[in-house]
Amino acid sequence: MAGERADWAGIWEETAFDRDADAKEEATPRWRAQERIVREDLGGFDSLAVIEIGAGRGLNAMLYGKRGADVTLLDVEDVALEQAARVYGDHALSFTPVRGDVFDLPADLLGRFDVSMSFGLCEHFAGETRTDVISAHLRLLRPGGIAMIGVPNRLSPVYRLWKAALERRGSWPFGTEIPYSAGELARRGRSAGGEPLAPAYGSFASSFVGHGVNQVLYKLGHKGLPLPQLQLPLLDRMAYELLVPIRRTT
């Protein structure tokens, strides 16, 4: 069950370009967790084959590319890949574009990559399709490769309140979006044939500002505050960002 699909082409056309987006992402606990895993488990980034699925502008894969990885971006929307080309060009980076659907992957991509990843994809499916989308990540990997799956955290109260408020007003733009707990994502990863690694969380302070304080400021016509990336281990389990790496074992 795919759920209600958002107008992703329209969303990308309306989303402003942020020239500092890569630097902001590099400061997050989510990125630092990926960098540590890649260096410890895969020996580093140089010549690593990586693919971002439902890539949009390919921000996360771009950070791999900046460190020497070979990047492929897969998205069903032409406009997303066109915008990715503009962003990568601004950073003097290249990628291989693939227009395709996560549930109908080109055969020549299967088993080719050291890292597959998505950020903001898996939560847009319901029922057993939530296992199928994780399986798609694993099918792209070589044995021993790692899927980096980033999703909204079900235990994030600030995110849940923000989402509920937009839904009540009828202004929620992202279609079906069902957040995950770390336990559900790990369980579905095992069902898909993978080995879940330890989850990593974003910054609760960042979530509080981004989904709480800044939403009030925007409503009042003000600019938002920079997102702090302070880490508070116990509180961070309620952060918006949840990352669960899953290794392909066979």
CA 43 to chain centre: 22
Residue 10's CB is within 10 A of a number of other CB atoms, namely 12
Q: How many CA atoms lie within 13 A of 7 on its CB side?
A: 7
Q: Domain total for the chain?
A: 1
Structural domain includes residue 235: yes
Structural domain includes residue 181: yes
Structural domain includes residue 108: yes
Confidence class for position 3, pLDDT limits 50, 70, 90: low
Structure tokens at 9: 């082409």
Confidence class for position 246, pLDDT limits 50, 70, 90: very high
Structural domain includes residue 227: yes
Structural domain includes residue 84: yes
* Helix or strand run (H / E) with residue 200: strand 200-201
Say how many residues make up the chain: 250
Confidence class for position 12, pLDDT limits 50, 70, 90: confident
Structural domain includes residue 209: yes
The single residue listed with the structure tokens 């279609």 is: 175
> What is the largest distance, in Å, between two alpha-carbon atoms of the chain?
53
- Domain CATH code at residue 241: 3.40.50.150
Residue 210's CB is within 10 A of a number of other CB atoms, namely 23
Structure tokens at 193: 């044939």
134 near 149, Cβ under 8 Å? Answer: yes
How far apart are alpha carbons 112 and 24 in whole angstroms? 29
Confidence class for position 4, pLDDT limits 50, 70, 90: confident
One-letter amino acid identity for 172? W
pLDDT reading at 85 higher than 60? yes
pLDDT reading at 1 higher than 70? no
Structure tokens at 209: 């500002």
For the chain, give me the number of helices (H) and strands (E)?
Answer: 11, 8
Structural domain includes residue 3: no
User: What is the per-residue burial (b if ≥16 Cβ within 10 Å, else e) of 164-200?
Assistant: eeeeeeeebebeebbbbebebbbebbeebebbbbebb
In this prediction, residues 131-142 reach a mean pLDDT of 98
Structural domain includes residue 1: no
Q: What is the per-residue pLDDT across 55-73, written as a single tens digit (0 to 9) for each?
A: 999 999 999 999 999 999 9
Strands 96-99 and 113-119: unpaired
The single residue listed with the structure tokens 């950070």 is: 63
Please give the model's pTM, rounded to 2 decimal places. 0.95
In this prediction, residues 19-34 reach a mean pLDDT of 94
**DSSP per-residue codes, 210-249:** IIIIHHHHHHTT-PPPPPP----HHHHTTSSEEEEEEEE-
Query: Across the chain, what does the average pLDDT equal?
Result: 95
